[in-house]
C-alpha cells in the first residue's frame, strides 16, 4: 500500500490508534488536516489557496482534491454539499482528537 493511501485504524491502548493514524499520513495530508483544524468548514479551493500561501508555490488542484478524498475515505474528514457549487470539508471527531494529541506531543517536545 502506498504511503498516502487510506489509513487502516489499529486498535491500540491509550488512544495510540490516533498516533498510529497520524504516522500513516503524508506530510501533505497532515497540512490539509491542519488547515481544516484552523478553519472549518472549508471548501477545497480555500484549502488550496491557504497551502499555496504557506508553501509559496502553486499547488496542483487535483492533488488537493485527491488527498481530501483519501482523508474522507480514511475517516479524518467529512465531505458535505456546500453552497451548491463547492463541497464543504470538516474534520471528524477522530481527526480532531488525533490532531489534539499531535499538538500536545509537539508542545511537550518544545517546552524548555
pTM over 0.85: no
How does residue 98 score in pLDDT terms, banded at 50, 70 and 90?
confident
CATH architecture for residues 27-110: Orthogonal Bundle (1.10)
How does residue 1 score in pLDDT terms, banded at 50, 70 and 90?
very low
Single out the residue of 19, 1, 5, 2 nearest to residue 67, CA to CA. 5
Distance of CA 66 to the CA centre of its chain: 12
Single out the residue of 34, 45, 48, 43 nearest to residue 95, CA to CA. 34
What is the Cα Rg of the chain in Å? 14
**In degrees rounded to 5, what are phi and psi of residue 88?**
-110, 135
Amino acid at each position: 500500500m502506498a504511503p498516502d493511501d487510506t489509513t487502516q485504524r489499529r486498535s491500540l491502548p491509550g488512544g495510540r490508534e490516533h498516533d498510529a493514524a497520524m504516522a500513516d499520513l503524508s506530510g501533505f495530508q497532515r497540512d490539509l488536516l491542519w488547515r481544516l483544524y484552523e478553519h472549518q468548514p472549508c471548501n477545497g479551493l480555500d484549502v488550496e489557496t491557504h497551502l499555496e500561501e504557506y508553501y509559496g508555490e502553486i499547488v496542483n488542484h487535483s492533488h488537493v482534491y485527491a488527498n481530501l478524498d483519501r482523508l474522507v475515505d480514511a475517516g479524518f474528514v467529512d465531505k458535505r454539499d456546500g453552497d451548491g457549487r463547492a463541497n464543504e470539508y470538516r474534520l471528524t471527531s477522530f481527526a480532531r482528537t488525533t490532531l489534539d494529541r499531535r499538538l500536545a506531543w509537539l508542545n511537550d517536545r518544545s517546552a524548555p
